[in-house]
A and B are shown apart, each in its own frame.
Chain A
Amino acid sequence: MGLVYALVAYGFQLTFATSKSINFGQGELVMLSAFCSLTLLGLGVPYWLMVPLGLLIGALLGLVVERAAVRLALEQKSEGWILLTIILGLFGFSLAENIWGRDDRPFPTPIPSDPFSIFGVDITWLEVSVAVGVFGIMGLIELFKRQTLLGKAFDAVAADRDAAELMGISATRTVMLSYALSGAVAALAGILISPITTVGPTMASVLILKAFSVAVVAGLNSGFGVVLVGLALGALENYASLQLGSGWREAPGLALLITALALRPNGIFGKATIRKV
């Protein structure tokens, strides 16, 4: 579970890196891509073909978010994107509610879910698949960001949008790309987690708050941090639901978020920025 939080949080980091904006509707993106993938499976598309298609759908949705909610606000250098991405998320939620219904649905997967035991710990292949998927895509994207020229453009746009434009990098395109990647990451998170949690419109709101907590507690620019914090939060939640009852499951994470924000606004692994005038 913790790793999926980390993956969704990583989606925030991707867009924050280029545009200092994050999609408040990321949870809905996860949910919509999961539903679309489910429909693809229902149409008879085999699982292994569904995964890339699902990622593509996620990327397209990410582009929609960028075009409709983020670009205008960035051009005006305002924070209107916060409100607009929330609105878009709400729209997506309603869409899902009406198209696929309000009930949670099971998500079939060819990966077996019977537990086996390593060093005395019971784990399932499903959980292994989550770990592989999360580390796989995060590794790929990090490699892309560090090794290719286009990846460097991410950093350039993040450092100074105008200067990057002068150097012939299209800031708009870079931001678009980051939103597409972020969408694909969200889609993968949806595909990975759905067999465990089932798919339903409400999965979005549960997921997003935790992913937010992870991203902010870890810092919005630390890919390594989200994995650690994600795992820690997953563990903390299980502990809380055992100790306090399942209704309280989310409380410690939320309290942790507010405290962490208060103590280290840039996150535990984030870099502090120096105020300049």
Chain B
Amino acid sequence: MKRFFLIRGAELAALIALVAVPLFVSNPFALGLLTLLAIYGILLIGLDVTVGYLGQVNLGQAAFLGIGAYTAGLLVAHAGAGILLALAAAFVVCLVLGALLALPALRLEGPQFALATLSFGALAVTVLNEWEDLTQGAQGLSLARPALFGQTLDAAGFYWLCVGLLALVWLGMKNLLSSQWGRAFEALRDSPIATDAMGVGAYRHKVIAFAFGSALGGLAGGLYAFDFKYLQPHSFTYELMVILLLGVVLGGRKSLWGAVVGAAFIVLLPNLLSSATLFRVFSIIGLIIALLGVIGGWKDKTALRFQSLAPVVAMALLVAGSFVVEHTEDWRKAIFALMLFSVVVGLPEGLMGFASKLLTRIFRLPAAPLPAASPLDAVLPRQQAEATTLLDLRGLKRYFGGIKAVDGVDMVVKAGTVHGLIGPNGSGKSTAVNVISGLYAPSGGQLLLDGAPLPVGSLYRVAGAGVARTFQNLQLFGELSALDNVMVALRDTYRLPWPLVLLGFARGEEKRAQAAALALLQLVGLDQQARTRARDLTYGAQRFLEIARALARKPRLLILDEPAAGLAHPDALQLVDIIRRIHGRGIAIVLIEHHMDVVSALCDAVTVLDGGQVIAEGSAEEIKRHPRVVEAYLGAAA
């Protein structure tokens, strides 16, 4: 309860303070700044979706601000639209354009994505500038602020509208990000492959996230148009984009508070630069903070040298500059650059990231309590083990150029059995599994699951068909907690359509999901570490967590790719125990393994591969004595 009151209380207090300002302050300048704060707040919350949650550098948000502004402005100037209609249109236009840009751009990662958004931004400004019949080009577009329900809005009224929209966006984002959607966004940042393999659909979520973020940019653009009442294409160029990034990074990524703090900074910046004395004071404060960082780093002996020294150098330059340079306005870009540099290097989590850590420590906020685990039977219903054929591979082939990694493999896995797949290194086991799970498309052959063809070449669709897998090289969602890792993958749990999620109706669903995920963590013995971040778990625990996550798919067939690799002996024993328990639920398992003791302890049947072909089949005992298997592992007898 303490947690609830502190967090909600702070939000409510901030909102009340913002709403009450016009009642006490009549200074139009201050009110103008606060209006801008609300507008940029919405814009940065939208930008944070891609920069923070998807972890991609997005250089297109300034363009969406511009497109939204022009959409709303033109609708008002030419069609006489009302304020709400114009804002809704700005939102929708940017949603559609964002989706159109995201469809190609989000197949890309990192620098290529940044480039694509950068080009989009440049293209948008060119179009706004050159389409003079519509936008009046570089001359600019003047418009009057339309009425809301027949009421003309004065400065205070418009301010309340902006704050109200900011509050709505805040609430909606909070609901969305604390639901399965937010988890999926973060999961696909950490491992897109695993996100697909867990049936979440990395690409689809990315596109939706980007489009939604862009739409918020459009909404902010509409408000921007009505705030300034004059639009020029050149307000929305590269420089604005860099400032927006500064806001998000400085405020703190993945944080609504961070977005608003960043917005406040952006709004105050020009005023900061207009007075030389003020600027000097602030740059000296910046230098002191950077120096404190160095001293703190020395005390802990943890920080990297460059990371603490570089901000000091940058800030010292800023201080020196503030005394030498007369017209700070001319050096605006250099000043932004120095500040942004110090923050990115020295304080990568941003102000709010730092503050939230500090506040959690001061108030000793307990984590929100977890519900009791649901009974395992409800989460993972016992499947009837009939001795029918579940997975049937016929002549499976996969070539890489001239290399025949898998060359005509026939294999039958019976329902409810543990089927071992062994072979020396390079024999094609992992490739076979990657083809079955859909990472690679087969070069030839048939795959049947329960007699029906299995989708090929798509992790996502194979996952949908009821096949779940773990990865030889762990593909956990490192930044998510163990519990969240399992919750992301839960199948048939999240049914609520997204509009209701935005409105905050997902809480009940969340509780049920938590309870189900806890049951699976219990199965692998990790329920005590549910809140631990996945990357902070021990190596063995990470392996077990991958199994629990795969089980959340409620699979008919579970593929374990070398689960015992690198495990210490006690962990390996526990692994055998876990696999027995899963087997007990009637789930068929394909086990790729090197440890023969694990294989003989568990497997009902074993297939041995060498050179991409099946060299032996049978029970574990038969295999051990099979002459070709002995030859493959130990070399031919001289």
Question: Does the CB pair A212–B119 fall under 8 Å?
Answer: yes
Q: Majority SS of interface residues in chain A?
A: helix
Q: Is the CB of A87 within 8 A of B475?
A: no
B306–A261 CB distance below 8 A:
no
Chain B residues, CB < 8 A from A86: 242, 245
Q: Measured between alpha carbons, how far is A97 from B114 in the docked complex, in Å? A: 25
Contacting pair B337 A94 (CB below 8 A): yes
- A91: Cβ under 8 A from any B Cβ: yes
Which of A45-53, A128-136, A148-156, A250-258 contacts the other chain? A250-258
When the two chains form the complex, which single residue of B118, B127, B337, B345 contacts A72, counting CB atoms closer than 8 Å? Answer: B345
Report B94-122 CB contacts with A as 1/0, cut-off 8 Å: 00000001011101101110111011101
| Distance to closest chain A CB from B105 (angstroms) | 7
Complex contact A248–B193 (CB within 8 A): no
For B431-454 the 0/1 string (1 means CB < 8 A from A) is: 000100001000000000000000
Give the residue name and chain of the B residue nearest to A72 (CB).
B306
Q: Does A43 contact B (CB under 8 A)?
A: no
Check if B110 sits within 8 Å of A79, measured CB to CB. yes
Encoded as 1 (CB less than 8 Å from any A CB) or 0, chain B from 39 to 64 comes to 00000000000000001010000000
Tell me the complex Cα distance, A75–B306, Å: 11
B64 CB → nearest A CB, Å = 15
- From B256-264, B328-336, B366-374, B408-416, the one touching the partner chain is B328-336
Pick from A80, A97, A255: contact of B348, CB below 8 A.
Answer: A80
Distance A68 CA – B340 CA, assembled complex (angstroms): 13
A64: Cβ under 8 A from any B Cβ: no
B151 to nearest A CB, angstroms? 41
CB of A209 within 8 A of CB of B118, answer: yes
Q: Is the CB of A97 within 8 A of B330?
A: yes
**Across-interface contacts of A263 in B (CB, < 8 A):** 104
Contact B333 A97 (CB under 8 A): yes
* CA distance in complex: A66, B344 (Å): 16
Chain A hits for B331, CB < 8 A: 94, 98
Tell me, yes or no, whether A159 is within 8 Å of chain B by CB. Answer: no
Contact residues in B for A247 (Cβ distance below 8 Å): 126, 129-130
A109-143 near B? 1/0 per residue, CB < 8 Å = 00000000000000000000000000000000000
Can you add 14 more A-B contacts, CB < 8 Å, to A68-B310, A87-B242, A209-B122?
A: A68-B341, A72-B310, A72-B345, A82-B57, A82-B110, A90-B239, A91-B333, A91-B334, A91-B337, A97-B330, A213-B119, A250-B123, A258-B104, A258-B119
Q: Taking beta carbons and an 8 Å cutoff, which residues of B are in contact with A?
A: 55, 57, 101, 103-105, 107-108, 110-112, 114-116, 118-120, 122-123, 126-127, 129-130, 193, 238-239, 242, 245, 249, 304, 306-307, 310, 330-338, 340-341, 344-345, 348, 400, 434, 439, 471-473, 475
Interfacial residues, chain A to chain B (CB-CB below 8 A): 21-22, 24, 68, 71-72, 75, 79-80, 82-84, 86-88, 90-91, 93-95, 97-98, 205, 209, 212-213, 216, 245, 247-248, 250-251, 254-255, 257-259, 261-263, 265, 274-275, 277
Q: Can you sample 24 A-B contacts with CB below 8 Å? A: A22-B111, A71-B306, A79-B57, A80-B344, A82-B57, A83-B249, A86-B245, A87-B337, A87-B340, A87-B344, A90-B337, A91-B333, A91-B337, A93-B333, A216-B112, A216-B115, A251-B130, A254-B119, A257-B116, A258-B123, A261-B105, A262-B104, A262-B105, A274-B400
